[in-house]
Amino acid sequence: MRCEVCGQKIRTDPIRAEIEGAKLTVCVECSKHGRIITHEEANIASKPTGSSSKPGPMKVFKKKIAARVELTQEMVEGYGSQIRKAREKLGLSHEDLGKKINEKASVLRKLETSKMAPNDMLVKKLEHVLKIKLLAPIAEEKTAPLEAPKMASRELTLGDLIQFDKKSTEEPKGRKPS
């Protein structure tokens, strides 16, 4: 019997393995490239289903999962300086804090300079060790409604809503058009 991957003669017992979705009979070396299938799995997959005597391809239906994430919290302003102050207050170096929360010191330096925003897991670790709050509820921005000029004779257009800065639209004095 020959290996279905490399083509070499199989000297020991052939191994059934699933490599990139295909179930193959392979040698020991090629079995390392996939998942070894047990005899029970191989027998179950080869048994026919339904009234037909021929085994046909099995249909696998995957249920689509729609991820719905509702954001309720956001990073506080100046999170980098808060992290630095709390770390210094505890007398920890970047390396010491990194060991406590299992993160690299370079990541902590980037957080303190606000060059990088932490993910949710890192935020939880930092909040726990440093005993600070880095997440705050999202504050809804209150904006005043835009009041459009009221004209009784016609409907409102986009041009009515735009306010031009006359200084920037005027031609500079002293220049002549070419």
Instruction: Tell me which of 39-48, 85-94, 122-131 is least confident.
Output: 39-48
pLDDT-based confidence at 99, cuts 50/70/90? very high
Residues 86 and 34 in one domain: no
Assess if residue 36 is contained within a domain: yes
Assess if residue 173 is contained within a domain: no
What does DSSP assign to residue 15? Answer: E
146 pLDDT above the threshold of 90: no
Residues 122 and 78 in one domain: yes
pTM, two decimals, is: 0.42
CATH of the domain at 108: 1.10.260.40
pLDDT of amino acid 149: 56
Query: Which residue stretches of 6-93 are H helix?
Result: 28-31, 39-46, 79-89
Assess if residue 100 is contained within a domain: yes
The 3-state DSSP class for residue 35 equals strand
Domain that holds residue 39: 1-44
The pLDDT tens digits of the residues spanning 21-42 come to 888 888 888 888 888 887 655 5
Looking at the structure of the chain, the number of domains it has is 2
Rounded to 5 degrees, φ, ψ at 34 are -150, -160
Assess if residue 96 is contained within a domain: yes
The pLDDT tens digits of the residues spanning 162-172 come to 766 655 555 55
Residues 91 and 133 in one domain: yes
Max Cα-Cα span within the chain:
95
